[in-house]
Structures are given as structure tokens and as C-alpha cells.
Amino acid sequence: MPSYTAPIKDTQFILHNVLKISEKAIPGYDELDADFTNAVLEEAGKISSEVLHPLNTVGDTEGCRLENGVVYTPTGFKAAFEQVKEGGWTGLDMPEQYGGQNMPYIMGTAVGEMFSAANQAFTMYQGLTHGAASAILAHGSDAQKDTYLPKMVSCEWTGTMNLTEPHCGTDLGLMRTKAEPQDDGSYKITGQKIFISSGDHDMADNIIHLVLAKIPGGPDGIKGVSLFIVPKFIVKEDGSLGDRNGVSVGKIEEKMGIHGNSTCVMNYDSATGYLLGTEHKGMRAMFTMMNEARLGVGMQGLAQAEAAYQNALEYAKDRLQGRDVTGVKNPDGPADPLIVHPDIRRNLMDQKSFAEGARAFILWGAKMIDQAHRAEDKDADGLISLLTPVIKGFLTDQGYDMTVQAQQIYGGHGYIEEWGMSQYTRDARIAMIYEGANGVQALDLVGRKLAQDGGKHVMAFFEMVKNFCKENGDISESYSKEFIEPLKAASKDLQAAGMYFMQNGMTNPNNALSGSYDFMHMFGHVCLGLMWAEMAKAAQAELDAGSSDAAFYETKIATGRYYMARQLPATALHLSRIQTGGDTVMALAADQF
């Protein structure tokens, strides 16, 4: 059985030493001093380790089951969900007005990593609800907010997102679900939606489905899509639950992983729905959920990698196999622990340097969201919009790879289900797919976000990296050589790739789009490089100030050195691929394959 310990010290280091959040002029941040955040994280860590994580294997093994139209979650999920609700965790960063705790998004993110790492399938019930509530908060009428938000913030009612249909995933313009206007202002929704996470279950009194559908007579394609609130049980005027609505579960999908989450086929048969936001502007409203969900999914990549890493590390320290080539390390034992072997180290350092870098990246992104929403900082809004596909695509690809590497440390024990390492890999796999497959993230990044607002945000990013390098170039010779120079080189590669797209993408967009995936990955590496440069700087400052916890900060710097030396140079390979253009990629006609 794997174990999980919340990375509180690392998170605190990022929040306070790197991002220095309580010094930032963002409303709500002044309350986030180190003691306060530590208390929140300690409590969240406890729930993660003691309540959610023990149910992770249970959820994987039992899965959800559909009986007579009712979905049952795995043993223990319901009681655990009650505990999470009672602790107020579901409304951590939601407005007080609706029963939330009004903490900044960055705190929701820090806690969210822990919950996800402990039990991804479980945490999705809450995560989808948060997304749906955010959409209602942003686009709902006051009456809709009053009706749904208090119950959704507390997770007495949970939420879902209904986009995909059997014949359309990414291309939502092909959607067939219909919404026919009724005399009372409501709509009758009819159609089938698939892959609906948390689509139905036994842990909430009501489920609020947000459903994309087309109002007949509206514009063709994606421009004619509207968003509707479709409750499982109709909510009466007094707030009590009325009749069962015309929505039912067709089946639960058998999946590679996240078995504890009910992924449903949902059938809407003249179900009563209420327009959320404006007619035909459903995609805009849906993107409120989707952007948040994409950050949340990027976080899942980190979370699964972190959880898998923790276990791989323990195994590498415990398992005795072979001897250190440079000299026996465990002379009293029959063999040395795996961790003495250089290739095991390489593997562990890959994981460690990824997880810590990714955590900084995610929290930095969450801070930008707070800047945008709480301080109306348009630059932060633009930058996080640019970085959202990078966070989603890069962190889930890399996070998945890290779960595979963690599994590898166990040898054959990683392949059997008994040790739990297969589950991390199987659960992490979905994050590369849902909320927009990573190829779509790359397309969003290169095809849309790069040029957004005249390319202003990507320019600002480069400017920021440049300034960081300039301002910190003379901290020390070693810092300059080990951190600043590699960061400069990687950032230069990224700029060269952007330049290549500008010069060659106009004449043939395939020259840009063929390199979009590589670009997303190199962008991710530059972000993690920047994070490591920031973290090493912050750690060095603590050492220079004579910290009594020198080992922690020295480890941080050594881990950063590894990332800069071994991982960041991947940008050069990505650039070289990008610069070969679209010709070799598009050379074959479809029937030549």
C-alpha cells in the first residue's frame, strides 16, 4: 500500500520565500502569513493522508457501479465526502456570501494539490462542482446564484460539465443536443453527453449539470451553442427539491484509471434546463469553467507525480539490491539500497526536480489568477491566459512520465497492482486527455494565445525572464553559471522558436502548427527553469542569512542544479525540431500512410 505525506514545507517555501505572498498587494493576501497558511496546509495534509489517501486503492479496486439507474461510489467515499464538507474544504476559495471561506485561489490550489495527490478520483467530485459553481458565479443571474451556489459551495449539491457527445469532443460545433425554448422561459434539453465525470453518484442530494446545447434556429456551429443549468432534481421556489428531471445515466464507462470517479453517459430526455448567461454564448461561459479546470488538471499532473515519487523514494531507500560501484554502503546488509545506484538517482532526481519545479509553476499561476480576479491586473490576466495551455499540457505530459518512472523503480513490483504504483500511472494518464487533449492545448498556445493582444503577453514573458536574468546575474559566479546562463539559453531557444513561427507560419500555418507540441514543451521547460532560478535564489538568501535549516536550502539548490543541467537543455532539441518546419510532418497524403 502506498502512502502520502503532504509537502507542506515545500509549499510554504514557495508561498513565502519565493512568491512572498503576504507582501503582495493583492486583496486577501495580507492575511496569508506563514503561520496562517501553515495551519491550513497542516489540516489539509492531515485529511489528505488520513482520510482521502486510504480510499485511493479502494476506489481503484471497487470502482463505481450503476444499479437500477443509481450510481454507487466505492466504500468509504460517502463518509469521507461528509468530512470534507464539514471541514469547509469545498468552499475554501469561494465567496463568504455563499458560504465560502473567501481565501485566495492560491490557497485553494495548494490544498487542491494535496487532495488530488491523495485521491484524484475522489477529489474530482469536488473539483467539478467548483468549476460549475465558478461558471454560475461568473455568468448566472442573482436568482440562479442564490438558488445554486450556497448548496454547491458546501457540496451538498455537486456539479458537472457536459460538453462531449459521441461524435464530437474538441469540435463542439458539431454538437447535436437540443434546447427547445418553453413558454415559462425554461428549455427542454434533449441529447446524449458522454465522458461526464462525477455524472451521478450517491454523495449529494442534487447534481447540477451544466450542459452545452443548441437552441434550434440559432447560428451554425460553435457560435450557436448555449449553456444550461440542468438539475438532477428540480429545485422548487422555496429551495427544496422537487421532481426528478429528465436526465438519467446511460452507463458508467470502464476506464484505464480514476475508477473511483463515475464517468457517465448522460441521457437528457426533455430535461428542464435554465439558460446560464447569454443565448448562443455558451462557449464563453463554458470557458470560465474550462480555464479553471485546465489549471486544475495541470495540478493533477503534478499531484500524481508527487505521490508516485514519494513512494518510489521510499522503495529506493528500503529495497536492497546490488552494491554501490564506488564502495559498499550497507556493509551489514546483504546488499545496498537501490538509491546508491546512479541510474536510480537519475530517475529520482528527474522526479524530484520536476515535482518541486511544477509546484512553484502552479502556485505562481494561481497567484496570477488572484492578481487578475482580485486586483484586476490585466497583465496578469493576459499572462495566465498564455500560460494556461502550458500548465495543462506540459505538466500533465511530464507528470505522467514521472509516474511511469516512479513505477520503474519498483521493477516487477511496479507492474502488479498490489504496490499501487500502476494506479498512479493509470490515473495520471487521463490528465493528458481531458479538458482538451494536450495536442489541443498546443494548438491553443501557438494558434491563439501567442498572438493574443498583438503578442503582448508573450513579449511580457520574455521581458520578465530577461529582467530576472539581468537583476540576478551577479548574485554569485556559481549562480550565474548554474542558473542564469542556462535560463538565458533556454529562453533564447524559445524566442527563436517564436520567431520561426512568425517568419514561416504566415506563408504556411503548418510550419507553425507542426511545431506546436514541441513549443508547448519548451515553454514549460523555460517556466520550470525560471522557477528553479527563483527557488535557488530564495534558498541562497536563507543560507546567506544563516538559516538554521541549511540542509533544506542546500537540497533545494542541488535539486535546481540538476534541473538546469539535465532537463532544461531539452529546449535545444525542441527548437531543432521546430525549425525543420512542416514539410517532413505533412509530406504524406493521408492514403500514403
| Segment contacting its own copies by CB under 8 A, of 6-14, 34-42, 341-349, 458-466 | 341-349
Does 322 help bind its own copies (rule: CB under 8 A)? yes
Q: Which is nearer to its own copies, 244 or 448 (CB)?
A: 448
Q: Which is nearer to its own copies, 245 or 559 (CB)?
A: 559
Who contacts 120 (Cβ-Cβ below 8 Å, separation ≥6)?
A: 56, 258, 261, 300, 303, 304, 427
For 276, left (φ over 0), alpha (ψ -120 to 50), or beta? Answer: beta
Long-range contacts, 216-223 (Cβ 8 Å, 24+): 216/178, 216/180, 218/279, 218/280, 219/280, 220/173, 221/173, 221/174, 222/172, 222/173, 222/283, 223/173, 223/280
Interface positions, 267-306, toward its own copies (CB under 8 A): none
Among 66, 437, 460, 496, binds its own copies (CB under 8 A): 437
Does 331 help bind its own copies (rule: CB under 8 A)? no
3-state secondary structure of 182: coil
CA distances from 410 to 286, 317, 367, 420 (A): 41, 11, 37, 10
Rounded to 10 degrees, the C-alpha dihedral 33/303/45/97 comes to: 60
| Contact criterion met (CB below 8 Å) for 249 and 200 | yes
CB atoms within 10 A of CB 323: 16
Interface positions, 400-429, toward its own copies (CB under 8 A): 400, 404, 407-408, 411-412, 414-418, 422, 425-426, 429
Among 227, 289, 339, 484, binds its own copies (CB under 8 A): 339
Does 562 help bind its own copies (rule: CB under 8 A)? yes
CA distances from 121 to 162, 237, 304, 308, 515 (A): 18, 34, 11, 15, 33
Q: Which is nearer to its own copies, 201 or 259 (CB)?
A: 259
Q: Which is nearer to its own copies, 302 or 520 (CB)?
A: 520
Among 334, 454, 477, 548, binds its own copies (CB under 8 A): 334
Tell me, residue by residue from 445 to 484, as one string, x for binding to its own copies by CB under 8 A and - for no binding: --x-------------------------------------
DSSP alpha helix (H) spans, 506-549: 509-513, 516-544
Q: Which is nearer to its own copies, 20 or 448 (CB)?
A: 448
Does 389 help bind its own copies (rule: CB under 8 A)? no
Interface positions, 247-266, toward its own copies (CB under 8 A): 253-257, 263
Burial class (CB in 10 A: 0-12, 13-18, 19+), 400: buried
Spatial separation of the C-alpha atoms in residues 272 and 229, rounded to whole Å: 9
Does 242 help bind its own copies (rule: CB under 8 A)? no
Smallest gap, in angstroms, from Cβ of residue 380 to its own copies? Answer: 29
Smallest gap, in angstroms, from Cβ of residue 57 to its own copies? Answer: 12
Smallest gap, in angstroms, from Cβ of residue 6 to its own copies? Answer: 17
Does 222 help bind its own copies (rule: CB under 8 A)? no
435 is catalytic: yes
| Contact criterion met (CB below 8 Å) for 90 and 154 | yes
Among 11, 73, 164, 495, binds its own copies (CB under 8 A): 164
Q: What are the φ/ψ torsions at residue 217 (nearest 5 degrees)?
A: 90, -10
Angle at 228 between CA 225 and CA 231, to 5 degrees: 155
| Segment contacting its own copies by CB under 8 A, of 20-28, 204-212, 294-302, 338-346 | 338-346
Smallest gap, in angstroms, from Cβ of residue 586 to its own copies? Answer: 6
Among 28, 273, 399, 582, binds its own copies (CB under 8 A): 582
Q: Which is nearer to its own copies, 273 or 560 (CB)?
A: 560
Element (H, E) at 252: strand 247-252
Does 430 help bind its own copies (rule: CB under 8 A)? yes
Helices 282-318 and 421-429 cross at an angle (nearest 10°) of 160
Which of 292, 356, 435, 542 is an active site residue? 435
Spatial separation of the C-alpha atoms in residues 300 and 295, rounded to whole Å: 9
| Segment contacting its own copies by CB under 8 A, of 22-30, 458-466, 532-540, 550-558 | 550-558
Interface positions, 484-523, toward its own copies (CB under 8 A): 508-510, 513-514, 516-517
Q: Which is nearer to its own copies, 69 or 411 (CB)?
A: 411
Binding footprint of its own copies, residue count (CB under 8 A)? 95
- Residues recognised as catalytic: 435
